[in-house]
Amino acid sequence: MHITESDLFYGLDLTVMSKIADICLEEKYADGTILFREGAKANNLYILEEGIAELLIDEDTFIYSLTEQSDVFGWSSLIESGQYTATAVCMTDVKVLKIPTGILQRIFDENPEVGSVVYRRLAGIFNKRLTKTYRKFIAVLKK
């Protein structure tokens, strides 16, 4: 998958996208690999290309499954707290695009219109995940 195919970055200015593509790292991880830990310094944004990863809190409490190509995670690296809010664990072998967000943020600072679009799209992703989580929570309460 090329970065321009991801939900977060599709249709953006090609000159800026070229700069973003240049900093992306395509990486593969084995089943069981921990990509990052809750509370650790958040330096990278991840986009799932293949496989399944799960987000956990308190090291063992499941909160979200990443199963779709283009699923975005590690978004804490783009906010001021700068700490991951969950642990990401590979449940199968995975392939991801890893984006160093310090450099990405500088690109956004130089191109605020692109940064604005990406942050709006990121807010949409949060909204979908939160709604899905609320529905699961309510379903459990109704049982």
Go through the domains of the chain in sequence order and give each one's CATH number: 3-142 (2.60.120.10)
Contact between 63 and 57 under an 8 Å Cβ cutoff? The reply is: yes
pLDDT-derived band of residue 130, with 50, 70 and 90 as boundaries? confident
For the whole model, what pTM was predicted?
A: 0.89
**pLDDT at res. 77:** 93
Determine the Cα–Cα distance for residues 20 and 47; give it in Å rounded to an integer.
13
Candidates 59, 92, 52; CA nearest to 73 is: 52
How many Cβ atoms are within 10 Å of 25's Cβ, its own excluded? 10
- Residue 135 has φ and ψ, to the nearest 5°, of -65, -40
> 32-46, 49-63, 83-97, 110-124: which range is least confident on average?
49-63
pLDDT at 24: 96
Looking at residue 5, its pLDDT comes to 84
* Four-point Cα dihedral 81, 34, 22, 13, nearest 10: -60
Residue whose entry in the numeric block shows the structure tokens 């090329």: 2
Averaged over 76-82, what is the pLDDT? 85
pLDDT score at 98: 97
Has residue 2 got a pLDDT over 90?
no
The count of C-alpha atoms lying within 13 angstroms of the C-alpha of 55, restricted to the half-sphere facing its C-beta, is 20
Q: Is the pLDDT of residue 133 over 80?
A: no
Query: Is residue 119's pLDDT more than 70?
Result: yes
**Per-residue confidence (pLDDT) for residue 128, from 0 to 100:** 86
